Structure 1
Amino acid sequence: SWSKPYFKVDPFNGGGSTSLVTHYGRTEQDIDPRLALRKSRHNYVCQHHVRYNEKTKDVIDRFSIAPVVLVRDLHDCVVSLRDHLRRESADNSMVFASQDHVNLPDAELETFIVQLAIPWYINFYVSWHDCPSVLWINYQEVTTDSKDAIKRILHHAGRKNIRDEEIEMALENRNSSADRMNVGRPGRGRMLSDENKALIRQYCSAYPRIDFSRIGVD
């Protein structure tokens, strides 16, 4: 998901959502330790496209961050990113796209994304397999049973005292316009061309020890 630098109170008291990234656009969303230090006295949630590496590990360990990795079907990611590039901006951290790319027909833009952005997604997915404390959440889990997904995340973060009624109330009162959700429907990637599906499988085959079934690749 995408976020802007802000800090606001969350529905569970004493916390909020914020950013640990100094720049967006085409910049990799690596966590800034200075921001993590400045906000370490607060409970918060931050959402970033960040890969797991030595720097990420250091920040997670130093500030006791509970990492949650939200993943979705890679084919759906292609369609979602296609729509995002057109609806919001060509500037992003995963692929250097221009307005010329945004104006391509659907099939050509999807091929561009598969060829140049999907390798970033795969790198992201593989990198988090080295993190022993990560909680994996699938996009379909979030869309079909949001309450259970949130409860799992809260338990992972040590917040086991939150009641179901509080979660339900937070879901009812959330600001859906701030979610920046596209269509939010799993399965849209089934319409990709056979060539693009084959290329995604080929990329994933570079990591034979990694299970990609969680993101829709056998």
Structure 2
Amino acid sequence: MHPTKSLLKRLYTITAALSSHSNERIFIACFPKSGSTFLRNVLAEISGYKTEEICVGVKNDEQDIYFPALIDQAFNGISSRMHMKAKDQNIEVMQQCGIRPVVLVRNIFDVVASLRDHCVHTPVFAISHMKDIYRAMPQEQQLDVIIDMLVPWYIEFFASWHRVRENNALDIYLTSYEQVMSDKPKTIQEICGFYAIQTSGEKIAGAIALIEKDKKRSNFNVGRTGRGKACLSDKQVEKISRMAGYFKDIDFSLIGVTHKP
């Protein structure tokens, strides 16, 4: 083991032993454009934890757990969300630190529509390097760029967390934007139960109402379920479905793809 890595692990063990908050870790591994900001902030409001991301940066890139950031928050309860695939190094840190993630996904076709809207104003991932070229494209081509350059990341995200569940590598709570939005109090109550957070229906309802009326803390765009397929061509839908189809043993129906193993 690299000496720096060993030192960080020992430092985390020491700070966790000294902290009364070391088990207060809400962690949402999520699709971008899946309602994760809303969910993180509602859970922070209920729990009283800080909203703090435990990665190096939070903008325009894939995120991985940064051990020093986790150590830095050892004496706080935190509600965090990150666009993070289940890479080996992330799973290792989560196992070592006892982090049990909520994994949040969304209908992939609705994600594409939402990403197209988002990237016109604030490009993310590879599209951030295209400058004004993306904005000047017709809408159909913008959707093609999203599908070609960003959708593979989403497919890999889903597949990676599927393998974590399959191998029982971590205890995870898997949910979707659609499940959260269809019954917010019920899903949030279940997530609070997953984290052993004591709360009440009244407190959950109050937190939801508070975050929903704050546009910055809810970060909702259009949020209409089903609009993705309405704006995508049959060819574009088929291309996304074909990407998922390479993983022949994985059921992608939770994100709207009809391919099943």
What is the letter of the counterpart of residue 249 of structure 2? R
Distance in 2, Cα, partners of 1:82 & 1:72 = 15
Q: What is the CA deviation profile of residues 83-138 of structure 1, one whole-angstrom value per residue up to 9, with x for unaligned ones?
A: 11113x21x23655522113211111001111111001001110111223121111
Task: State whether structure 2 residue 159 is matched by structure 1 residue 121.
Answer: no
Match of 1:93 in 2: 125
Of residues 167-176 and 203-212 in structure 1, the stretch that sits farther from structure 2 once superposed is 167-176
* Residue of structure 2 aligned with 1:207, choices 214, 233, 247: 247
What is the letter of the counterpart of residue 110 of structure 2? D
Task: State whether structure 2 residue 229 is matched by structure 1 residue 190.
Answer: yes
Residue 178 of structure 1: CA displacement? 2.1
Alpha-carbon distance change, 93 to 20 in structure 1, aligned in 2, over 3 angstroms: farther
Distance in 2, Cα, partners of 1:120 & 1:195 = 20
Q: What is the CA deviation profile of residues 135-189 of structure 1, one whole-angstrom value per residue up to 9, with x for unaligned ones?
A: 1111111222111111121111122x21111101111222332222211111111
Distance in 1, Cα, partners of 2:58 & 2:152 = 20
Q: When the two structures are superposed, what TM-score results if normalisation uses the length of structure 1?
A: 0.89
Q: When the two structures are superposed, what TM-score results if normalisation uses the length of structure 2?
A: 0.75
Match of 2:9 in 1: none
Q: How does 1:1-12 map to 2 (within 5 A)?
A: 1=32, 10-12=44-46
User: Does the 8 Å contact 2:94/2:100 carry over to 1?
Assistant: yes
What is the letter of the counterpart of residue 246 of structure 2? A
CA RMSD of aligned residues (A): 2.0
3-state SS of 1:40 partner: coil
Alpha-carbon distance change, 120 to 82 in structure 1, aligned in 2, over 3 angstroms: same
What is the letter of the counterpart of residue 218 of structure 2? D
Distance in 1, Cα, partners of 2:114 & 2:201 = 31
Match of 2:13 in 1: none
Distance in 2, Cα, partners of 1:68 & 1:118 = 21
3-state SS of 2:50 partner: strand
**Equivalenced residues, count:** 211
Task: State whether structure 2 residue 83 is matched by structure 1 residue 44.
Answer: no
What is the letter of the counterpart of residue 187 of structure 1? G
What are the ranges of 5 or more consecutive residues in structure 1 without an aligned counterpart?
none
Alpha-carbon distance change, 213 to 206 in structure 1, aligned in 2, over 3 angstroms: same
Distance in 1, Cα, partners of 2:47 & 2:235 = 49
Task: Compare the two structures and name the one with the higher helix fraction.
Answer: 2
Alpha-carbon distance change, 195 to 181 in structure 1, aligned in 2, over 3 angstroms: same
Q: How does 1:138-157 map to 2 (within 5 A)?
A: 138-157=176-195
Alpha-carbon distance change, 97 to 113 in structure 1, aligned in 2, over 3 angstroms: farther
Task: State whether structure 2 residue 76 is matched by structure 1 residue 76.
Answer: no
Distance in 2, Cα, partners of 1:61 & 1:106 = 43
* Residue of structure 2 aligned with 1:167, choices 197, 200, 204: 204
What are the ranges of 5 or more consecutive residues in structure 2 without an aligned counterpart?
1-31
Distance in 2, Cα, partners of 1:39 & 1:73 = 33
Distance in 1, Cα, partners of 2:177 & 2:47 = 26
User: Does the 8 Å contact 1:72/1:138 carry over to 2?
Assistant: yes
User: Does the 8 Å contact 2:111/2:228 carry over to 1?
Assistant: yes
What is the letter of the counterpart of residue 52 of structure 1? A
User: Does the 8 Å contact 1:79/1:110 carry over to 2?
Assistant: yes
